[in-house]
Structure formats: structure tokens, C-alpha cells
Structure 1
């Protein structure tokens, strides 16, 4: 089992848009296994490839005992009115801030065989789908905080022991 170390806020890979996955990449199966192993640790709802240092469009999820992955994911549907939800991130350890998220999300991508994968859900699954897809677009959740909250969040992050 390979539980890969998580890259932290400030690492340039977290602010870079991830490249599409090529299904013939010989290392792809290993990446997927590492993503699954890493997200399987307690308290983890999702891990994007960039969080383990790989700039490819892939993420794993672990929501309510449902563990899986998706390659080349794209959000194809959001529903409901955005609402404030407490959100944290493995790349910003120890912090949770209120962030606006849609209560429903649908993502489409593929698996290792190139077969279509469609994930959808509400609540934590919707939040995880939006959060992990944002990672692949080079956006950390703190960037989408309301301005007053973001100012305070950035101050707290800068003062943290790991920053």
C-alpha cells in the first residue's frame, strides 16, 4: 500500500492546471492505486493527483464508505442554490472555513479501461466532487472563500506551524 505524502499550500503544483490523463500512460495504473491507497486513510473524502505531486487530471474519493476514482473528470452539472458549508483540505491541514458550494454535483470522466464514469451526489459527495475538480484546475478551496473570511483564513494559514 502506498499512502503518498500530501503536498501543502504554497507548493506550486497545487496552483497549476493538471494535464489530461493519457490512458496508454504506463504509470497510470500505479497512480490510480496510489490515489486509492492515499484516500483510504481515515478522515479523507478525496485526493487529487496534484496533491500527491502528479500534475494529471485524476482524483480519488472516499464518501460514506464508497471509494473510487475518476480520470479526466469534468463537472457537467451543479444544482441548487450555493450554500455555506464548512470545508477543509489535506493541503491546508488543521483548518476549516465556510465555503459556498452547490448542494448537488455531477462529474463525468473515465476509468482505466476508458469506460465512462459518472459520479453524482449531494451533501459531502457534491462538495468532494467540486473540491477535487477545483484542485485539478489549480484552485485551492481557500481561493473561493468570501473576501472577509479569506483575509482571516490567509492570516491563520501564514501563522500556522507548517506554512
Structure 2
């Protein structure tokens, strides 16, 4: 027999929801500082990962809009805007060039700095964006590692 559980987390839409829960476990991976020798190749890997992540986010956004409505789909628009943030990705590229570190380390280091800046704001809107930045970071690290992303088709109907 299943025992009742109490979970806390972040909501993605306002209001109260009743129904089956979908628990998305996202463990933080260790991202060690690894050196590189072929900077151009690693910069290309980063660009390829950004492109793949953006394509997946477009797919997720379209599926979310059809399945859950525009409010949920806008989450993916926010993630796409983060991927298009040139100053942040210029910093990542510069770190790869100057410190000769693997893209996954540069992505994690720079985006975590951005997330901490958001968390340090007084406005809860900006504090909430820290998780969006971390979600994009996780997606990019997964792309760089060749790992699959959770897809909306894996989520049961009418989850809470």
C-alpha cells in the first residue's frame, strides 16, 4: 500500500490543482573543471548544443501550448530568451577561450553566476528567474553530455 507523501516545489501556474502529480526529478550533476586543447572544436560543440537545446525548447513550447495552454508554453519562451542572451554566451565563449575549459564547465559557471544574481534581487519575479536560468543550464549541460531531455509526451495527462 502506498503511503501518502508531502512534496514542496515550485508552481508553474497560479491557482490550486487537484489530480495526479507528476514529479520531475532533476538532480544537479557535478560539473568538474576540465581543460581542453582544441578551443575551436569546443566552441563549435557549444554552438551545436545551443542549437539543439533551442530546437527542443521550440518543440516543448508547441506541445505545451496544445496540451496545457499558452500560460505554460510561455515558460519555454523564457528559456528560449535565455538561450538567445548574447552577453551571457559571449562570457561563456570568452571563458572557454581564455581559460581553456570545457564548454559544460563554462556554461555551468557563468549561468550559475547569473542565477545567483537573480536570487539576490528583492523582487520575487527576478528571484523566480534564477530557476529558469538553471533549467537552461541543465539542458545545455545535458546536450553537451549527449543526454536525453524530458519530453512532454512522458508526462501523464492532466498532471498537477
Say whether the fold is shared (TM-score over 0.5). no
TM-score by length of 2: 0.31
Higher Cα Rg, which structure: 2
Higher helix share: 2
Higher relative contact order (Cα pairs below 8 Å, separated by 6+ residues):
2
